[in-house]
Amino acid sequence: MRKTMPAICGIALALCFFSPAIFSNETPASTAGRTKIVVFLGDSLTAGLGVQPSEAFPALIAGKIRAAGLPFEVENAGLSGDTSAGGLRRIEWLLQRPIDVLVIELGGNDGLRGLPVNSLKANLQAIIDKAKAKNPAVKIVIAGMQMPPNFGADYAAEFARIYAEVAQANNAVLIPFLLEGVGGHRELNQPDLIHPSAAGHRVVAEVVWRTLEPILRAK
């Protein structure tokens, strides 16, 4: 049985200034046309709290993109402590530049605060709606999260289920559990047992890349 990490993002984390990290791909393929953009919209897991920016999984994905010679630029729009409502507030700013692939990693803090699952679902849907209104061809990837059973079996089950429901309703691609192989594994997490270590981020990057690579090659 897959172990689930005890928490996703620390509730006590104070919101910080948002300054997205951009990893450019200076490859010959990029000169053939506009370099496309992959945006990771998320919380402290995406931001890479507790590790170097170069060790966070979006930066590792950028390295995989460069190695594959794909014409994509990666923008890390992770913000520690963010909720799905916070992501919804920020998406308009991010959409000022074209987004070709939007990876949404949000909801952990909603769950930790016991916020209604229906609100999480509505916020994810609103983010997708805004992204598609700006670019109908945008490809949406949803990173699923899980709550530990101590939050209540019914809540945990409903929480996990909404990611699949939102993905199906929007023809989006689902990563069933972002922290597959990492959540609950002490050796892959920082001492808080909440945030992945550098080694944990390498595992997360592999999980994401399995889903993302085919999408980028087809774009």
pLDDT exceeds cutoff 70 at 130: yes
Choose, from 30, 44, 84, 197, the residue flagged as catalytic.
Answer: 44
pLDDT of residue 58: 98
Amino acid at the residue 27: T
Arithmetic mean of pLDDT, 28-53: 84
Beta-carbon contacts of residue 38 (< 8 Å; ≥ 6 apart): 61, 65, 72, 73, 74, 75, 99, 100, 101, 102, 103, 212, 216
Choose, from 82, 195, 197, 201, the residue flagged as catalytic.
Answer: 195
Q: Which of 202, 146, 217 is nearest to 176 (CA)?
A: 146
Arithmetic mean of pLDDT, 167-174: 98
Q: Which of 194, 202, 199, 204 is nearest to 9 (CA)?
A: 194
Show the tokens assigned to 109.
């803090």
pLDDT of residue 148: 82
Give the CATH superfamily of 21-218: SGNH hydrolase (3.40.50.1110)
| Pairing between β-strand 36-42 and β-strand 21-23 as defined by DSSP bridges | unpaired
Q: Would residue 192 show up in a list of annotated catalytic residues for this protein? A: yes
Choose, from 24, 54, 129, 192, the residue flagged as catalytic.
Answer: 192
Query: Where do the structural domains in the chain lie, given as residue ranges?
Result: 21-218
Residue with tokens 């897959």: 2
Please give the model's pTM, rounded to 2 decimal places: 0.85
Helix (H, G, I), strand (E, B) or coil at 150: helix
